Structures are given as structure tokens and as C-alpha cells.
Amino acid sequence: MNIHFDFEKSSLFFNQPVSIISCSSFQDVPLAFEKIEESLSRGLFVAGFFSYEFGYAFEEAFSSYSLNGFPLIFMGCYEKPQPYKNQFTVDGHDRKVKNLRFNISREKYFEHIDVIRSYLQAGDVYQITYCLKILFDFHGNAYDLYKTLFAVQPVPYAAFVETDQYDMASLSPELFLYKKGNYIISKPMKGTWQRRKSWFADKLAEYRFRHDEKNRAENIMITDLLRNDLGRIGNNIRVEKLCEVTPYKTLFQMTSTVAADIAPDVSLYNLFKSLFPSGSVTGAPKIRAMEIIHELEREPRNIYTGAIGYIKPNKDFYINIPIRTALINKENAKGEMGIGGGIVWDSTAEGEWTEGILKARFFTDNIHL
């Protein structure tokens, strides 16, 4: 497994793992964490990914959920990373993306938004992050695709993962967790607004977004959920930034920063049990939201809204949430990319559908460059 991280302008390359830690069943998750802890104690770095479905392993209510064979955990153990210096081969546009389509019809998507609104009205949940997928056929160099997309729209938590079976091009703007010593932060992202072409219209759009009640409410709701989750493993919980607006090429995003103090040698199993998956990709309350997501989406998210990152021997780590992430199965040349949005009572099916298309433009507008 080879991995290139572009996290906060720090470019690292992991290759030639000493060993691979992988599991595809819920009962094997505790043993996988024992192996991760043992590898770290030997001075190795551990880097790779966790699928969204990995989060089912921590709740008895999800134990009967079926899996499709995609790894719940897939981590390489490495001596140390290297600075990235073009270790991947780029063939110069040697790729073809064909047959783009959604995994669900527009009509069915609208029906599902109505179902979610009924759950909201009944008080089952306050927000649901509901997702659909873009499916496509892919032939060629996946790293070339990653570099093209990253050049067009740089993001702070990008990564490219290459395994024997899968390639993952993660153009993620969202941080799941960063830990250094006893300091840990999460940056839940909720809220999207389209950018405008003229300077004045763009500034006006940013102002409206910053003060938009619906987007702020979505963000604050998930920020509170992250505060509660961090409180399970830490103390001195604080919100360092609230509803911060960040511009990207085609849209603005709203992010908050939640911090806590934790034990530097915290048990990684307990940490993930408390925090995974992020509330920003489920909704609130988390467990009920995950049940409704499973009912409606009806297929695994796989890497989408899981986690990609690395852990140092001292248990410091850097982990993204793989949104805007293309997953390519090299065995059948099929690809998929999830698109999601937070649904609250004020949401409309038309508005959420349009927002999803906007979020996907970084991919759909640039795959033929």
C-alpha cells in the first residue's frame, strides 16, 4: 500500500509497509486495534483508512448489518514516511472517466427527503446527513486524476491511497481529528454556499452565507454533537472557532473547530469508539441518524465519510474525513464518489439536490482536463 498525504501543505509519502493490518468483519475490529497499538509500540507509523461501516462495530444495534467485503480497517505499518518527490508515475492525462450516473433517481431522492422530513417532524432526529453516489467507469492512471483535481481546487486534507485492489483520490476539505500530545481538535464542516463570478457578488454571497440562519443552525447542531463526543474521552472541551467560512473555487464552506485535552497515550480503540464516525457525516442524535441512513441509503458508503490518515509512534495523528473522494475498484474498473448534505426541517428536496450537484462540480467539471 502506497499513500501520498497532502495535509495542510505538508506532503508525505508512505510506501513499502512492514505489514498490513486489515479486517472486514465486526468481530475482528478489537484485534485489529491491538495490532495497531503493538505496531506503534515498536516505533512504526501506521497509515491507511477506515470505512464508514467500521463505525457499526461499536454499537450492538448495528451488529446484524450486512457488509460487502470492503475493508472496515486497512492500515499499513511503516518504518517512517518520506517527503513526497514524485514517487507515483503520472502519465499525462492517461485516463478515461465514462458513463457518469447517479445511484438513485431524482424522484427517489425526493421521496427520501420527504421520509427524512417525517422523521424530523416526529422528533426522531434533528438532522440527517443523507448521501447519494456518482457512479462511473474508469480506465487509466488514478494518480493523474488525483493530481488534476488537486491542482484545480486545492484542499487542506487531500490524500491518494493505492492498494492492490483500490485507488482512492481524496480531495477532502474536512478534518476529522488532529492530535498532538494532549491536544486534540476536530473540525466539523456543515454549510455550503455557491460562489459568484464577480468580486462584489461573491463578497455579498459570502456575507449572506456567514449570516444564514439555516446553515449556522446546521453547523452549531453538529458542533454541539462533537463537543459531547469529545467529552467522552477528554476534558476542557472548548469551541475555538464557530461557523468559520472558507472559500474554495466553486463554493464556500462553513467549519467550526472543537478542541479538548486528552491523555497523550489514549487508547485508540476507546477514542474511535467515542468519536467515529464524525457527527458531521451522520446527523444528530448520532445512533438514530445512522439507523435512518442505513434504512434509506441501502448500500455501503465504503470509504466515503470514513477516515484516511496516519498515526505516529507517540500516538499523535492526522486524519481526514474522505468526502469528495473517488473510490476506484481496479479489478472491475468501476468508480464511485459519494455526495452528501445535512437535512434539517428547513431543507427542501430541490435545494439539497442542487447543493449536491454543486459539491460534485470539482469532479464533474474537471475529469476531462
DSSP H/E element including 116: helix 106-122
Asked whether residue 369 carries a pLDDT value surpassing 80, the answer given is: no
Q: How far apart are CA 325 and CA 149, in angstroms?
A: 11
Confirm if 23 and 282 have CB atoms less than 8 A apart.
no
pLDDT digits (tens, 9 = 90+) for 278-313: 999 999 999 999 999 999 998 999 999 999 999 999
In three-state secondary structure terms, 178 is strand
Task: Determine the average pLDDT of the residues in 24-32.
Answer: 96
Q: Which of 162, 174, 291, 355 is catalytic?
A: 174
Prediction pTM value: 0.94
What percentage of the chain carries pLDDT values higher than 70? 98
Neighbours of 43 (CB within 10 A): 11
Label residue 16 left, alpha or beta by phi (over 0 means left) and psi (-120 to 50 means alpha). left
Cβ atoms within 10 Å, residue 29: 20
SS3 assignment, position 22: strand
In this prediction, residues 101-115 reach a mean pLDDT of 95
How does the average pLDDT of the chain come out, rounded?
Answer: 94
**pLDDT at position 270 over 60:** yes
- pLDDT bin (cut points 50, 70, 90) of residue 83 is confident
- Secondary structure tally for the chain: helices H, strands E: 8, 20
Q: What percent of the chain has pLDDT over 90?
A: 83
Residue-level pLDDT at 281: 95
Q: Return the C-alpha cell found at 91.
A: 502519465
Is the pLDDT at 341 greater than 70, yes or no? yes
Spans of all domains in the chain: 2-89+100-364
CA 230 to CA 226: how far, in whole Å?
6
Q: Are 225 and 284 in contact (CB under 8 A)?
A: yes
Residue pair 130/116 in contact (Cβ under 8 Å)? The answer is: yes
User: What pLDDT does residue 255 have?
Assistant: 96
CATH of domain 2-89+100-364: 3.60.120.10
The C-alpha cell that represents 296 in the structure block: 434509506
Which of 188, 147, 187, 195 minimizes the C-alpha distance to 171?
147
The answer, yes or no, to whether residue 101 has pLDDT greater than 60, is yes
Amino acid at 166: Y
**pLDDT at residue 368 greater than cutoff 80:** no
Kindly state the average pLDDT of the residues 130-141: 94
Does the pLDDT at position 352 exceed 70?
yes
DSSP characters over 319-363: EE---SEEEEETTTTEEEEEEEEEE-TT--HHHHHHHHHHHHHHH
Q: What is each CA distance from 14 to 3, 77, 130, 137, in whole angstroms?
A: 5, 9, 33, 28
Identify the CA nearest to 248 among candidates 202, 216, 217: 202
Active site residue 85: no
pLDDT above 90 (res 9): no
174 is annotated as an active-site residue: yes
Query: DSSP H helical segments within 139-297, as ranges?
Result: 142-152, 199-210, 213-231, 268-275, 286-297
Residue 367 is predicted with a pLDDT of: 79
The three-state secondary structure class of 141 is coil
CA-based nearest residue to 161, from 361, 42, 329: 329
Determine the pLDDT at residue 93: 57
- ω into 285 cis (within 30 of 0): yes
Strand 189-194 to 183-186 pairing: unpaired
Q: 150 by DSSP, 3-state: which?
A: helix
Across residues 110-130, what is the average pLDDT?
A: 96
Q: Cα 165–169–173 angle (5° rounding)? A: 145
List the end-to-end C-alpha distance of the chain, in Å, as a whole number.
27
Listed residue (356, 318, 320, 223) closest to 280, CA to CA: 223
| Cα atoms in the 13 Å half-sphere on the side-chain side of 249 | 15
Determine the length of the chain.
369
Q: Rounded to an integer, what distance in angstroms lies between the CA atom of residue 41 and that of residue 13? A: 21
**pLDDT interval class at 239 (50, 70, 90):** very high
Among residues 35, 190, 286, 359, the one annotated as catalytic is 190
Q: Tell me: the pLDDT tens digits for 197-233?
A: 999 999 999 999 999 998 999 999 999 999 999 999 9
Residue in the structure block whose three cell numbers are 427524512: 116
Note the pLDDT of residue 90.
67
Per-residue pLDDT averaged across 10-27, rounded?
95
For residue 322, pLDDT over 70 is answered with yes
pLDDT (mean) for 36-53: 98
